[in-house]
Amino acid sequence: MDFLALSPLERQYEVEQLLARYVHCIDDDRLEAWPEFFTRRCDYRIVARENAERGLPLATIACDSRGMLEDRVVSLRNANIYGWHRYRHLVGSVLLLEVHAEEIVARSHYAVFRTRGEGVGETYSVGTYDDHIVFDEGQLRFRAKLVTYDTHRIDSLLATPL
């Protein structure tokens, strides 16, 4: 796919569809399919904005391969202990910042509402997605996805990815 050959409307549609599929995958708890949204070598990072704004490199989750994403899922399913919860991601304000023949750079806003075991909901995480999107092995994938969260005081813990 040559992104430059698409109309602006088509590009916007493709990117928003990818983002929608991505958040539905997580929110439907189909985590085993989640790594497939990324290229084999990738850069997935969840970073507190207080670090990003100081130029500090620490990420809360940092994966540089699809294998690391798979390990995260295996660990969540088999090793880690955390309370039952469900996410609903809302993604919006999707801006295509750069369009190249083989890559689109997009920024969007996200908010995640988390419902916990007793049915209590809360705004869990709010921030931005900075995505580098490529056409890879027949589908659109994230070569890089940087999740920068404004809500830097994480409530309890972070298990399910953002």
Partner 1 sequence: MTAFAFDLPWPRPASGCAVPYAVFTAQEVFAVEQARIFRGPHWSFVGLAVEVPAPGDFKTTYVGAVPVILLRDRDGELVVLENRCAHRGALVCRELRGRQSRLACVYHQWTYDLHGRLLGVPFRGGIEGRGGMPADFDPAAHNLNRLRVACLHGLVFASFDHDVEPLEDYLGEMVVASIARLCARPLKLLGDQRQFMRGNWKLYAENTRDPYHASLLHLFHTTFGLYRSSQQGATLMDPRHRHTMLYTKAATSSATVDAEVYQDVRSYDTRFKLADPSLLAGRKEFDDGITLVILSVFPNLVLQQIANTLAVRQLCPRDAASFELVWTQFGYADDDAEMDAIRLKQANLIGPAGFVSMEDGEAVEIVQRAVAEAGDAHSYVAMGGGRAEDAAHLVTESAIIGFWEAWRAAMGVPES
> What are the residues binding partner 1 (CB under 8 A)?
46, 48, 50-51, 54, 56-65, 67-68, 70-71, 74-75, 78-83, 152-159
How far apart (Å, rounded) are the C-alpha atoms in residues 52 and 28? 30
- In angstroms, give the least distance from the CB of 117 to partner 1: 10
Tokens of 158: 């972070």
- In angstroms, give the least distance from the CB of 57 to partner 1: 6
- In angstroms, give the least distance from the CB of 93 to partner 1: 25
In the three-class reduction of DSSP (H, G, I as helix; E, B as strand; rest coil), residue 132 is classed as strand
Phi, psi of 131 (to 5 degrees): -115, 140
Which C-beta is closer to partner 1: that of 5 or that of 79? 79
- In angstroms, give the least distance from the CB of 127 to partner 1: 14
Quick one: CA torsion of 94, 97, 98, 104, rounded to 10 degrees? -20
The length of the chain is 162
Which C-beta is closer to partner 1: that of 1 or that of 76? 76
Which C-beta is closer to partner 1: that of 3 or that of 149? 149
Please say whether the beta carbons of 117 and 83 come within 8 A: yes
Which C-beta is closer to partner 1: that of 12 or that of 65? 65
